[in-house]
Structure 1
Amino acid sequence: MLHKIDIPSGVDSRLVPDAIAKSIELAKQRIETFQDRWDRPQIEQFVAADYSHVFQALDWTLETQMTIGRRFVEWGCGFAIVSACAAHLGLDVIGIESEDVLLVQGQTTVKDWGVPVELIHGNFLPPGAESLADDPMLPSLGHKIENAYESLGLDLDDFAMVYSYPWPGEDDFHEAVFDRYAARGALLMMFCGPNDIRLYRKS
């Protein structure tokens, strides 16, 4: 089962190093340019998070919570900004993304930040996880691409921490997948909207 860890409301007052703040701002400008293009279809499932707040929450978590390792995975990494933040904080990071065009953008972020992040094209759901969904129309379902864990030679329980940005209404599904497949003691962080970052430990 999952145990909720309360992130203090003042976590958004934690210092974000100037270099990180600048890198986040430049990445956000790239996202705006990407989303304003008219010459290709929009990727509806990609929505930017509050990356500074996520960095602060990750920093607080690593400072205050025991972890079972340093391996971190981002489900649906998009521009890989959270992955880059996690790598800056010393985690061993893998970002998984199903959209080729977003993976290219993530690779640009990793190069610009100069951090060691492995980006994988694939489905972030472990094999069989779709069966945990109550709604067959959830955005996380239906990606008919290779499973990322098989190509990595890893399972979800090899990771100490998972980060996701669930689409509205699928946060329970992400929690259920993590509860079923993650290692005991692992952490799940979810950005669920402005001022709503949730942290859980699997017990």
Structure 2
Amino acid sequence: MPLQTLNLSLLGESPSAEIVAWIDEANRRREYFYEEGLGLRIPKYVPSNPEMVHAAIYDLKENAQLRGNTFCEWGSGFAIATGIASLLGMKAYGLEIEPELIDRSRQLAADLNVPITILDSDYLPEGFDESEEMGGKELILPEATMAGSIHPDYDGLDPGEVDLFFVYPYPDQEEMMMDLFDAVSTHGAVLLLYREEGEVDAFLQTKDNDDDAWDS
């Protein structure tokens, strides 16, 4: 896996008033969603620290560690990170498969006039899968991809054109999500991975684009 760890400084500029308002309203609606019993099918999760996510994205942009301006959040939920990226000037996409969360995150963005795109899409592109192993989840690459005849796609969004991915996986999914990033990203892309311990790490994709199986 040709990923390079990037150094992050999380002591940068504080979030703007607009970003604080986005975070506060998203958290308020999220809490209401669960307190009112509206998310019975969807396990309540401990959200990432949005101020830390903001600091990480801000640092990557401020220090020119991003090759471009396209952001994608895997499993966007209420799209807090997606909105932060948008308000920091990125073209921001969120991937979500739960209809209730798709509707609510889109409504939140419309109400606060934050330009994001929420796609009804799994983080695993067509043909990819995951398996449960002793050490946690493992990524299964599609045979067609390995043969070079399929190109990963997220409902029209080409993951190869994403400059910054963000994900907050369950602990047993961390390695799998890094493998997924390695499989679908292209040279110069960055993965921002938030960990359950409240830490955030950044990884740079260093493989040559010629190494992508679907380009053969």
Amino acid at match of 2:133: D
Distance 1:78 1:150, change over 3 A: closer
Cα offset for 1:127? 3.0
Cα offset for 1:26? 2.0
- Stretches of 4+ aligned residues off by more than 6 angstroms: none
SS of aligned partner of 2:4: strand
SS of aligned partner of 2:84: helix
Amino acid at match of 1:81: I
Cα offset for 1:192? 1.1
8 Å Cα contact 1:45/1:167 also seen in 2: no
SS of aligned partner of 1:33: helix
8 Å Cα contact 1:74/1:94 also seen in 2: yes
* Counterpart among 184, 195, 198 of residue 198 in structure 2: 195
For structure 2, list consecutive stretches of 5 or more residues without a partner in the other structure: 141-151, 207-216
State whether structure 2 residue 162 is matched by structure 1 residue 151.
Answer: no
Counterparts in 2 of 1:87-106, with a 5 A limit? 87-106=86-105
Distance 1:135 1:65, change over 3 A: farther
Once residues 139 and 55 of structure 1 are traced to their aligned partners in structure 2, the CA distance between those partners, rounded to angstroms, is 29
* Counterpart among 102, 125, 133 of residue 135 in structure 1: 133
The one-character-per-residue Cα deviations of 1:13-54 (angstroms, maximum 9, x if unpaired) are 631112321321122111111111236514116442211211
Amino acid at match of 2:56: A
The one-character-per-residue Cα deviations of 1:87-126 (angstroms, maximum 9, x if unpaired) are 1111111111010011111112211331221111121212
Amino acid at match of 1:198: D
Structure whose alpha-carbon radius of gyration is higher: 2
TM-score, normalised relative to structure 1: 0.84
Corresponding residue for residue 144 of structure 1: none
Q: What is the count of residue pairs matched by the alignment? A: 193
Corresponding residue for residue 55 of structure 1: 54
TM-score, normalised relative to structure 2: 0.80
CA RMSD of aligned residues (A): 2.5
**Structure 1 range deviating more: 121-130 or 178-187:** 121-130
For structure 1, list consecutive stretches of 5 or more residues without a partner in the other structure: 142-147
8 Å Cα contact 1:84/1:113 also seen in 2: no
SS of aligned partner of 2:153: helix
State whether structure 2 residue 32 is matched by structure 1 residue 28.
Answer: no
Corresponding residue for residue 67 of structure 1: 66
